[in-house]
């Protein structure tokens, strides 16, 4: 399939789906009545993950048409191109190879074993990845063992990761999600926002002698990260009476630009690298995962990679109709492009996954929030949805009102673990019971009692349910890789570049112009000029 000439709307499957969307909406309860196998047939397992997608507004005809759309799109060729390291990030002429970072078990992915048709790994690239992983293991083991000493000879007790976007969200989410495995004597802190109140209030509680800062930035040019790093340097210098604190053992840089980290003054032995074919929002698997390995240990970090690899193998080798990321992506396309839903909610019933929606916002919205197709023409259909969410049961007491009785169609992913070693059976039963009740109630609805129309629940509201056996590092890795591939499949169908993020540049440039008092660009709009004048008068 030639991506330049491909347009999803011109495929026979898209046209069929448009017609199917004109029919009366699928009545899910009636479908379950008529089809005893629906729950089983609309479920997919992959290792310790189960996806039940039977509570969706599809029947078998719609499902077949969605699969046909995937087949008529460039998806399969595009997937091979990604795993093969081709330059599929066309606007930046880069490969997209986060999957190469988690190729930890060759027996799963080698063609010689006959178990996978996945392209073989470039040996030089594999050697570089292994070298970077060894370095991450060496450093994280040393810190965890208490052998990495600060400038006054004390072991590290607090690790501060300074980074933003992909250099923050993945590590922060993983450390929280995998708290079960956290080192008991090491506290992890994450600073992203350039809001000084964040860094200053965190540093206030730390002991500089036992604090280590990781400056995490793919480019090592990001304004927020460099300003926060500069504030941390000043703090160390004043607390420890040090000169050039950033050259001390209190600072490690993690970056794809060794040159920029060196120019910043970080000691060359304390720079961990990763390749520029690792996208920022896909970087938790790379050296950017250093804070994860420090918190949960390098072996658990390795398990996280192994879980992601098993999802990679599933995604690459499983037929489309039983392929978990493909199923989730196609359902998203059905709601987004044919039933005109504008948003998608992710609701984990696990408090330790409370950063997952924020993480997925970057993954999904930075990847697929695009208007230009790969051929440089504006798309004539909706692309990535607005993703949002929060944990249950908390969300039930906040926005679930809108899900049950509001006017918008919001497809939902419910996520839970069957077991939780950090909880107890009483709590976990109630938690899971609530999740199942919500999915069922949203679908079933309820007629209003006579004279009480406000108690009408329309029902027929769609959801996926994803259940992991436990929140292990392996299952967590598989879960994140599942969403990465879902986003990839949707980008392939919409024929957009899911791997650049030019949309964030304009605002960055304007911020710099405002901060530099630079009047050389287009003249400032009068609203912004008035706000600037107001601030100038009021800042004391």
Closest CA to 461 of 432, 440, 478, 488: 440
**Catalytic-role residue among 205, 259, 397, 537:** 397
501 contacts ligand F6P (rule: CB under 6 A): yes
Among the residue ranges 99-107, 128-136, 214-222, 376-384, the one whose residues contact ligand F6P (CB under 6 A):
214-222
Among the residue ranges 114-122, 216-224, 307-315, 400-408, the one whose residues contact ligand F6P (CB under 6 A):
216-224
Return the number of the residue (281 or 314) whose C-beta is nearest ligand F6P: 281
Sequence length of the chain is 540
Closest CA to 207 of 185, 241, 240: 240
225 contacts ligand F6P (rule: CB under 6 A): yes
Active site residue 366: yes
281 contacts ligand F6P (rule: CB under 6 A): yes
Closest CA to 62 of 342, 462, 392: 462
Alpha carbons within 13 A on the beta-carbon side of 85? 13
Return the number of the residue (34 or 504) whose C-beta is nearest ligand F6P: 504
Return the number of the residue (229 or 305) whose C-beta is nearest ligand F6P: 229
Return the number of the residue (150 or 171) whose C-beta is nearest ligand F6P: 171
Return the number of the residue (104 or 272) whose C-beta is nearest ligand F6P: 272
Among the residue ranges 29-37, 215-223, 304-312, 476-484, the one whose residues contact ligand F6P (CB under 6 A):
215-223
Count CB neighbours of 247 within 10 A: 16
**Catalytic-role residue among 314, 366, 428, 486:** 366
| 226-242 as b/e: b if 16+ CB within 10 A | bebbebbbebbbeebeb
DSSP track, 421-485: TTS-HHHHHHHHHHHHHHHHHHHH-BPPPTT-GGG-B-----EEEEEESS--HHHHHHHHHHHHH
**Catalytic-role residue among 154, 427, 456, 508:** 508
Helices 196-203 and 223-240: crossing angle, nearest 10°? 30
DSSP reduced 3-state for 126: helix
What is the closest distance, in whole angstroms, from the C-beta atom of residue 179 to ligand F6P in the complex? Answer: 23
177 near 188, Cβ under 8 Å? Answer: no
Instruction: Please give the C-alpha separations between residue 520 and each of 514, 524, 529, in angstroms, as whole numbers.
Output: 11, 10, 15
222 contacts ligand F6P (rule: CB under 6 A): yes
150-189 binders of ligand F6P (CB under 6 A): 164-167
Active site residue 397: yes
What is the closest distance, in whole angstroms, from the C-beta atom of residue 283 to ligand F6P in the complex? Answer: 7
Active site residue 313: no
Among the residue ranges 193-201, 218-226, 344-352, 460-468, the one whose residues contact ligand F6P (CB under 6 A):
218-226
219 contacts ligand F6P (rule: CB under 6 A): yes
> What is the DSSP secondary structure assignment for residue 241, as one 8-state letter?
T
Alpha helices in 45-168 (DSSP H): 60-72, 75-83, 98-101, 106-109, 123-144
343-382 binders of ligand F6P (CB under 6 A): 366
Active site residues: 366, 397, 508
Chain residues that interact with ligand F6P, rule: CB under 6 A: 164-167, 217-219, 222, 225, 280-281, 366, 501, 504
């Amino acid at each position: 399939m030639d991506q330049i000439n491909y347009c999803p709307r011109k495929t026979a499957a898209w046209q069929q789906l448009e017609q199917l969307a004109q029919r009366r909406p699928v009545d899910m309860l009636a479908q379950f009545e008529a089809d005893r196998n629906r729950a089983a047939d609309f479920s997919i397992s992959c290792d310790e993950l189960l996806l039940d997608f039977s509570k969706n507004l599809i029947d078998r005809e719609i499902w077949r048409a969605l699969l046909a759309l995937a087949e008529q799109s460039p998806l399969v060729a595009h997937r091979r191109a990604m795993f093969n390291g081709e330059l599929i990030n066309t606007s930046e002429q880069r490969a997209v190879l986060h999957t190469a970072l988690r190729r930890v078990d060759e027996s799963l992915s080698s063609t010689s074993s006959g178990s996978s048709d996945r392209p073989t790994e470039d040996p030089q690239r594999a050697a570089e990845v292994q070298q970077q992983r060894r370095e991450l293991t060496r450093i994280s083991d040393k810190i965890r063992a208490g052998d990495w000493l600060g400038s006054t000879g004390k072991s590290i007790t607090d690790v501060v990761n300074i980074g933003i976007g992909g250099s923050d969200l993945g590590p922060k989410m993983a450390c929280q999600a995998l708290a079960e495995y956290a080192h008991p004597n090491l506290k992890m802190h994450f600073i992203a926002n350039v809001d000084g109140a964040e860094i200053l209030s965190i540093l206030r509680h730390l002991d500089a002698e036992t604090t280590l800062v990781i400056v995490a930035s793919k480019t090592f040019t990001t304004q927020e990260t460099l300003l926060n790093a500069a504030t941390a340097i000043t703090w160390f210098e004043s607390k420890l009476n040090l000169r050039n604190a950033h050259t001390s053992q209190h600072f490690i840089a993690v970056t794809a630009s060794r040159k920029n980290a060196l120019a910043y003054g970080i000691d060359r032995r304390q720079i961990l690298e990763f390749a520029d074919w690792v996208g920022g929002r896909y970087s938790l698997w790379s050296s950017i995962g250093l804070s994860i390995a420090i918190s949960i240990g390098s072996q658990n970090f390795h398990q996280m990679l192994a879980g992601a690899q098993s999802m990679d193998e599933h995604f690459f080798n499983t037929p489309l109709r039983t392929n978990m990321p493909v199923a989730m992506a196609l359902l998203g396309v059905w709601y987004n492009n044919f039933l005109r839903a504008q948003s998608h909610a992710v609701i984990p019933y696990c408090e330790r996954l409370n950063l997952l929606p924020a993480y997925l916002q970057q993954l999904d919205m930075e990847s697929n929030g695009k208007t230009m197709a790969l051929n440089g023409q504006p798309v004539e259909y909706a692309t990535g949805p607005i993703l949002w969410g929060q944990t249950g049961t908390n969300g039930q007491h906040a926005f679930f009102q809108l899900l049950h009785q509001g006017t918008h169609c919001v497809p939902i992913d419910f996520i839970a673990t069957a077991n939780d070693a950090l909880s107890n059976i009483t709590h976990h039963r109630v938690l899971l019971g609530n999740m199942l009740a919500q999915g069922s109630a949203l679908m079933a609805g309820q007629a209003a009692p006579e004279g009480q129309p406000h108690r009408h629940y329309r029902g027929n509201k769609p959801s996926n349910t994803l259940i992991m056996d436990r929140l292990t590092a392996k299952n967590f890795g598989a879960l994140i890789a599942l969403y990465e591939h879902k986003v990839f499949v949707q980008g392939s169908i919409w024929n957009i570049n899911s791997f650049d993020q030019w949309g964030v540049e304009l605002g960055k440039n304007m911020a710099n112009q405002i901060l530099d008092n630079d009047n050389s660009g287009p003249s400032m709009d009068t609203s912004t000029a008035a706000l600037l004048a107001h601030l100038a008068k009021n800042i004391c």
